[in-house]
């Protein structure tokens, strides 16, 4: 249902002209965790836990993560791709509990640093089910991966080949894949499109870099080339770019066979599957993706007379994103010119995505009912940057005031994993909810935590 939204001041008598806009009804929870339920008092519960009570108990900002939603999304991938390896992209969000949940659901893990790798292994995650990524892996990253025995390392440059081969222990062979640039533009923003020639990841098919890397690895006795890898971008809502990537990667697998007499047994097509951040937005249909990718892979391999390789996918956002809700408390409301700014107690230090990518969210007033007409406002953070905007030109009740709570759904991915220490505000806690029980997974970062790193003059 659409309603008329007023731009401007806080009350119906402000004299502003009404403009047509679409906002969601109070009961539209389509981009929330599936366990979300509206309450009679304007509250919303997730996983059986009241968000208002969670805010009172744990303080704000607070990130609430629905364990059941995470697990169900893992199972959706396992069901859609029963013969593939599903590897959770830890960069979306990682903590010890998250590593345990995806391990128990039968997924592997994709990590990008020695830090992510060490955290996962200390939770008991099997290292052979871990894939190490990174366009510029440090010596520590590579040594840690070898020491802990990761299953696969994705090679991202030719210089990395010699460096990795030199430190691989005698008598062992490290399994590696080559990250290939398939020349496909896909993704929700220029900064997250990684399948084209003009970005830092991977080795190009077009200029022969990928083929050269394959030859180099095959000449290294301590490295075992097990397959090819590509990742075309993030927040990709269409299946077609993945089908095109599979077609090009299958062609490269055939050329490797023809040139080197080697049939590679694995193909990793990355992740980047889109989710909806606001009602009405598109998300990637995992079932449709599975059918189209499987058909293209089988047909392409038949044409090239290749055995069908073992497929790997790396969903991150699509598993963690819809499971998270961020809850903020309003600190101030003020009008500047034609704009109404609603400032909250978090901002770009816990969610830099709007500043980086212009991402748009659908915040919701929780904790009380309001009969006030909705108005277009801009929800901003508390940090000393003009770009510290969490949600621009969104409809909220016209009587929103300091002390109110705002909840932002689809907040489970690339918020806290990209959080910073800007203004020494401290990063929010992460609270898991399940069957009416809330428990802290990651505690709030305190001033004492930050002060310990400052060793003085």
pLDDT in tens, 418-429: 999 999 999 999
Contact 322, 69 (CB under 8 A): yes
Per-residue pLDDT, 191: 45
Reduce the DSSP state of residue 439 to 3 states and report it.
strand
Q: Is 446 exposed, middle or buried (0-12, 13-18, 19+ CB in 10 A)?
A: exposed
What number is the average pLDDT over the span 111-119? 97
* Residue 19 structure tokens: 């403009």
* Residue 331 structure tokens: 């600190």
Contact 187, 163 (CB under 8 A): no
384 classed as catalytic: yes
Does any domain span residue 11?
Answer: yes
> Do 60 and 196 have their domain in common?
no
Q: Which among 320, 355, 388 is the end of a domain?
A: 320
pLDDT score of 190 more than 70? no
Per-residue pLDDT, 363: 98
> Do 289 and 355 have their domain in common?
no
What number is the average pLDDT over the span 198-211? 83
What number is the average pLDDT over the span 125-143? 96
Per-residue pLDDT, 182: 86
* Residue 22 structure tokens: 């679409």
> Do 375 and 337 have their domain in common?
yes
What number is the average pLDDT over the span 406-428? 96
251 φ, ψ to 5°?
-60, -40
pLDDT score of 2 more than 60? no
Closest CA to 409 of 351, 316, 325: 325
Per-residue pLDDT, 26: 55
* Residue 39 structure tokens: 């309450």
Bridge partners, 89 (sequence order): 110
Does any domain span residue 130?
Answer: yes
What gap in Å lies between CA 358 and CA 275, rounded to an integer? 15
Number of domains in the chain: 2
pLDDT score of 37 more than 70? yes
What gap in Å lies between CA 57 and CA 40, rounded to an integer? 20
Per-residue pLDDT, 358: 86
Per-residue pLDDT, 313: 98
Per-residue pLDDT, 270: 95
Per-residue pLDDT, 422: 94
Does any domain span residue 457?
Answer: no
Contact 395, 362 (CB under 8 A): no
| Confidence label for 186 from pLDDT (cuts 50, 70 and 90) | low
Does any domain span residue 19?
Answer: yes
Q: Which among 320, 340, 364 is the end of a domain?
A: 320
Side-by-side strand order, sheet with 37-38: 37-38, 44-46, 49-50
Does any domain span residue 176?
Answer: yes
What number is the average pLDDT over the span 133-160? 95
Predicted TM-score (pTM) of the model is: 0.91
pLDDT score of 18 more than 50? no
Does any domain span residue 448?
Answer: yes
Reduce the DSSP state of residue 241 to 3 states and report it.
helix
Closest CA to 184 of 257, 132, 136, 238: 238
327-376, pLDDT tens digit by residue? 999 999 999 888 999 999 999 999 999 998 888 999 999 999 999 999 99
Q: Pick the catalytic residue: 74, 95, 301, 384? A: 384
- Between 196 and 49, the more confident residue is 49
* Residue 414 structure tokens: 């690339």
> Do 431 and 401 have their domain in common?
yes
Contact 350, 415 (CB under 8 A): yes
> Do 298 and 188 have their domain in common?
yes
> Do 37 and 87 have their domain in common?
no
| Confidence label for 456 from pLDDT (cuts 50, 70 and 90) | confident
Does any domain span residue 357?
Answer: yes
331 φ, ψ to 5°?
-100, -35
Does any domain span residue 338?
Answer: yes
* Contacts (Cβ under 8 Å, ≥6 apart) of 36: 29, 44, 45, 46, 325, 409
Q: Which among 299, 320, 341 is the end of a domain?
A: 320
What number is the average pLDDT over the span 35-47? 96
CATH code, domain carrying 410: 2.40.37.10
| Confidence label for 185 from pLDDT (cuts 50, 70 and 90) | low
Per-residue pLDDT, 426: 95
> Do 315 and 326 have their domain in common?
no
> Do 184 and 303 have their domain in common?
yes
Helices (H) and strands (E) in the chain, counts: 12, 23
> Do 165 and 42 have their domain in common?
no
> Do 229 and 273 have their domain in common?
yes
Share of the chain above pLDDT 90, in %: 84
pLDDT score of 24 more than 90? no
> Do 123 and 90 have their domain in common?
yes
Dihedral sign, CA of 390, 391, 396, 399?
positive
Reduce the DSSP state of residue 432 to 3 states and report it.
strand
> Do 53 and 71 have their domain in common?
no
| Confidence label for 206 from pLDDT (cuts 50, 70 and 90) | confident
CATH code, domain carrying 240: 3.20.20.10
Domain that holds residue 90: 67-320
Contact 431, 323 (CB under 8 A): no
Closest CA to 410 of 7, 29, 43, 13: 29
Question: What one-character DSSP code corresponds to residue 169?
Answer: P
pLDDT score of 79 more than 90? yes
């Amino acid at each position: 249902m659409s309603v008329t939204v007023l731009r401007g001041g806080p009350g119906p008598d402000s004299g502003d002209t009404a403009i047509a806009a679409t906002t969601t009804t109070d009961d539209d929870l389509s981009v929330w965790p599936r366990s979300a339920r509206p309450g009679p008092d304007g509250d919303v519960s997730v996983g059986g836990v009241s968000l208002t009570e969670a805010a009172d108990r744990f303080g704000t900002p607070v990130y609430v993560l629905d364990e059941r939603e995470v697990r169900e999304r893992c199972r959706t991938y396992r069901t859609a791709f029963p013969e593939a390896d599903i590897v959770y992209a830890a960069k979306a969000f990682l903590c010890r509990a998250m590593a345990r949940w995806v391990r128990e659901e039968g997924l592997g893990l994709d990590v990008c640093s020695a830090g992510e790798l060490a955290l996962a292994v200390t939770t008991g995650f099997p290292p052979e089910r871990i894939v190490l990524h990174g366009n510029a892996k440090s010596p520590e990253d590579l040594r840690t991966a070898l020491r802990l025995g990761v299953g696969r390392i994705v090679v991202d440059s030719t210089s990395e080949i010699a460096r990795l081969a030199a430190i691989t222990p005698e008598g062992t062979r490290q399994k590696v894949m080559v990250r290939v640039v398939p020349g496909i533009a896909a993704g929700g923003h220029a900064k997250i499109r990684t399948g084209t020639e003009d970005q830092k990841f991977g080795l190009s098919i077009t200029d022969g870099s990928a083929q050269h890397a394959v030859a180099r690895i095959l000449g290294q006795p301590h490295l075992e080339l097990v397959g090819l890898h590509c990742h075309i971008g993030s927040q990709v809502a269409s299946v077609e770019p993945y089908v095109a990537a599979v077609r090009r990667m299958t062609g490269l697998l055939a050329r490797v066979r023809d040139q080197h007499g080697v049939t590679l047994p694995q193909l990793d097509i990355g992740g980047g599957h889109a989710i909806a951040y606001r009602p009405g937005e598109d998300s990637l249909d995992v079932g449709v993706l599975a059918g189209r990718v499987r058909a293209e892979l089988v047909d392409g391999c038949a044409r090239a007379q290749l055995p069908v390789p073992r497929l790997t996918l790396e969903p991150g956002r699509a598993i963690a994103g819809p499971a998270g809700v961020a809850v903020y408390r309003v600190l101030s409301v003020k009008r500047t010119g034609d704009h109404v700014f609603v400032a909250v107690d978090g901002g770009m230090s816990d969610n830099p995505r709007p500043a980086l990518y212009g991402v748009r969210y659908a915040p919701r007033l929780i904790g009380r009912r309001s009969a006030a007409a909705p108005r277009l406002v801009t929800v901003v953070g508390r940090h000393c940057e003009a770009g510290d905007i969490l949600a621009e030109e969104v409809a909220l009740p016209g009587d929103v005031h300091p002390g109110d709570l705002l909840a932002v759904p689809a907040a489970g991915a690339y918020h806290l994993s990209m959080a910073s220490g800007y203004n020494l505000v401290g990063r929010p806690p992460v609270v898991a909810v399940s069957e009416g029980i809330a428990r802290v997974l990651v505690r709030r970062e305190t001033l004492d935590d930050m002060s310990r790193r400052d060793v003085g003059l």
